C-alpha cells in the first residue's frame, strides 16, 4: 500500500497542540534557524513536540506542500500554520506568540 504522507502530516499536526517541523531535534538542532525557534519555544515555558524532517525525505518534501511553504523550520499551533523562523521571531518579540501558546 502506498504511503499517504499528506494524511500522516494532518494526523500528527492534529495530535500535537504545539508542533515544530525542524532539522534535527530540540537537543541537537541541525540548522541555525531551527535552533532559534527551539530557543524561543524553550523560553516560553510550553510543552511542544518536534518532527525531525531530516529523518524522512517524504515528510521533508510533504510538509512543504502541506503548508505551501518551501523552507524549514515550520511551527504549528492548534493545527494552524504559524510560520517559519522570521515570523515566529517577530511574534515572540511582539508578545503575540506567548498569547497564542498560553491558550494551549
Residues in contact with other proteins by CB under 8 A are 31, 33, 60-61, 64, 68-71, 81-87, 90
Nearest-approach distance from CB 87 to other proteins, in angstroms = 5
For residues 42 and 54, what is the distance between their CA atoms, to the nearest angstrom?
21
Cβ nearer to other proteins, comparing 16 with 67: 67
Query: Cell for 58?
Result: 517524504
Cβ nearer to other proteins, comparing 1 with 57: 57
Dihedrals phi, psi of 12, to nearest 5 degrees: -70, -35
- Crossing angle between the packed helical segments 32-43 and 85-93, to the nearest 10 degrees: 30
Cβ nearer to other proteins, comparing 17 with 87: 87
- Greatest CA separation for the chain: 46
Nearest-approach distance from CB 32 to other proteins, in angstroms = 9
Nearest-approach distance from CB 1 to other proteins, in angstroms = 26
The answer to whether 29 and 35 have CB atoms below 8 angstroms apart is yes
Cβ nearer to other proteins, comparing 45 with 70: 70
Amino acid at each position: 500500500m502506498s504511503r499517504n504522507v499528506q494524511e500522516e502530516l494532518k494526523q500528527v499536526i492534529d495530535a500535537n497542540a504545539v508542533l515544530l517541523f525542524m532539522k534535527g531535534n530540540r537537543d541537537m538542532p541541525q540548522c541555525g534557524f531551527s535552533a532559534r525557534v527551539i530557543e524561543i519555544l524553550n523560553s516560553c515555558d510550553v510543552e511542544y513536540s518536534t518532527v525531525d524532517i531530516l529523518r524522512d525525505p517524504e515528510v521533508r518534501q510533504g510538509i512543504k506542500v502541506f503548508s505551501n511553504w518551501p523552507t524549514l523550520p515550520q511551527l504549528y499551533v492548534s493545527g494552524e500554520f504559524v510560520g517559519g523562523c522570521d515570523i515566529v521571531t517577530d511574534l515572540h518579540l511582539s508578545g503575540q506568540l506567548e498569547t497564542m501558546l498560553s491558550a494551549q
